[in-house]
Amino acid sequence: MHRRTLFLAAMVLVAVGAAAAHAADAGRPNIIIIMSDDMGYTDLGCYGGEIATPNLDALAAKGLRFTQFYNTSRCCPTRASLLTGLYSHQAGVGDMVNDYGHDAYRGDLNDRCVTLAEAVRPAGYRTYMAGKWHVTKHVGQDGPKDNWPLQRGFDRFYGTISGAGNFFDPQSLVRDNMLISPFDDPEYQPDTFYYTHALSDHAVRFIREHATAQGSTPFLMYVAYTSPHWPLHALPEDIAKYQGKYDAGYEPVRRGRLKKAIEAGVLSKDQSLSPTVGNWDAIPDKEWEAAGMEVYAGMIDAMDQGIGRLVGELERTGQFENTLILYLQDNGACHETNGRTAKKDHPDGPRPEQPTFPPVSPKAVLERNFFPVQTRDGFPIRMGPHVIPGPGDTYLAYGRNWANVSNTPFREYKHWVHEGGISTPLVVSWPAGINSHHDGVVVHEVSHVIDLMATVVDVTGATYPDAVDGVAIHPTEGVSLRPTFAEQPLERSAPLFWEHEGNKAIRDGRWKLVAKHGQPWELYEMTADRAESRDLAKQKPDISKRLQHAWQEWADRVGVQPFPVASKRTQKKPITTPPATGLQRHQS
């Protein structure tokens, strides 16, 4: 048994007495963290969007909406930071799930961190996860599983270990610790398998089974949807809701979102709009271009439906009032163009009448293949400008122009650390714990995904460890968001920092210093210019230099390496002396 598993088992045994007492304490909330994949700042209805998200809108209408909440601009680093409360480099996931031989770039969660689940289990919480993991390079059934969910503190797991994949036949699909086929799964056989609905159904199942078997024991659940990450796959009935909605092109949608977001209070009344990307008049096939956004909207719609079922199950089991729900997104909208041009081995045209490949057995387990050439029933996967997205035999993204719409009113996209890459909604619901004098409070406090660990530890009464099994654990980097639940300000003693593949930024109060890889630093005053349109670096050299110095000190502290990261064959493990109060994985 892996040593972390032994530690967790021992800690749960040690905490049995305390857990029994805590279980009767109705003041400790359940926690549900919901994250979507590759969405823009104004895609939700409650943040200005035209996409139907009534269930998230309802949570926001009775809870909180954060206007300046940040992720890390990319899927793997954001997931590492969310799970650990650390900057992703400290957790070992400084880039993606690639091992460059540096401690900050192992592509795996390291043993210098604990996950949210590992933090709250010793305090008597049950822990569940449904969705995309994507914080380990080990995906195969026979490979190491040290960093699979059950080995990092979760009691139950249903989802995918790797990143993107077919929504009708996802790769690396796992139940608990076993790779499975969605078509040979005795526990779950819907009429039509669609991954977004499968995740929602399992989240609902975990809530229902917990209420039946665990009584008043509190739980933490992490639901990580892949919607609406490419490929653009949605059910026909969801796509149909948006048919024709985007026929007028990019600019009218952006203008409508800006107006609605200002009216909703999530953008200031004088917020400027970054330049529109793409000329609708020059698009040769407007039907095809609009179809991409229609399918994208349908994917988000399906996710919101599932969140509604999740909330409904909480209400049915009497747990909604004392459940803290936090919804966020892993990065800004995705500019990537996968599948939009013809590609070898992927036909650009209509679906053939007959299969062109041998079928794959329903029992076959698919470990990882982001760009498969065929469906399980033998039809080719189609890409290109003559393929309408949506069905499971297509594989397209919606492209940079629509990503610019999703990120209204900001610049740039996923991968960069300008506002379009790192800004996310944060919707918070906790009827029993948010002391609001009125509904739908808008919170303007600057905050970050690293704050979720501190928040969870705060509201659950858990203890964040100094050390585990003789290895020092990095102190958490964030601050608890709990003061905002009572409409009080946050007290943050340090700026917020970013680095991803050479793109870098620091946010200190109203000032943001930001640079693309290999480009000069830019300075923006964020209270007046969140669109990052007026670079003040030359006008304010003292502020720019101060922030550059602070960023470099942080980068040195967390192990940032120049990009591209040079691989090292060997890397000495740092010598650490844990505090005497540190916890042990092996308890006597």
pLDDT class for 461, splitting at 50, 70, 90? very high
pLDDT in tens, 160-182: 999 989 999 999 999 999 999 99
For the chain, the average pLDDT equals 92
Portion of the chain with pLDDT greater than 90, in percent: 87
pLDDT class for 568, splitting at 50, 70, 90? confident
Residue 203: how many other CB atoms lie within 10 Å: 26
Q: What does the pLDDT read at residue 511?
A: 98
Candidate from 213-227, 434-448, 472-486 with smallest mean pLDDT: 434-448
* Cβ–Cβ under 8 Å, residues 232 and 396: yes
- CA distances (Å), 72 to each of 81, 88, 422, in order? 8, 8, 6
Q: What does the pLDDT read at residue 468?
A: 87
Candidate from 215-224, 306-315, 438-447, 560-569 with smallest mean pLDDT: 560-569
Q: What does the pLDDT read at residue 469?
A: 85
Candidates 331, 410, 339; CA nearest to 373 is 339
pLDDT class for 371, splitting at 50, 70, 90? confident
Report DSSP letters for 500-564, one per residue.
ETTEEEEEETTEEEEE-TTS--EEEETTT-TT--S--TTT-HHHHHHHHHHHHHHHHHHT--PSS
Q: Is the pLDDT of residue 3 over 70?
A: no
Average pLDDT over residues 519-526: 98
Candidates 106, 198, 142; CA nearest to 559 is 106
pLDDT class for 1, splitting at 50, 70, 90? very low
Portion of the chain with pLDDT greater than 70, in percent: 92
Q: What does the pLDDT read at residue 12?
A: 40
Long-range contacts at 251-259 (CB < 8 A, ≥ 24 apart): 251/276, 251/280, 253/50, 253/405, 253/408, 254/404, 254/405, 254/408, 254/409, 256/50, 257/42, 257/48, 257/49, 257/50, 257/405, 257/408, 257/409, 258/42, 258/48, 258/408, 258/409, 259/48
Q: Is the pLDDT of residue 101 over 90?
A: yes
- CA distances (Å), 362 to each of 3, 9, 181, 183, 185, in order? 36, 36, 7, 5, 10
Task: Please state the pTM of the whole predicted model.
Answer: 0.93
pLDDT in tens, 301-336: 999 999 999 999 999 999 999 999 999 999 999 999
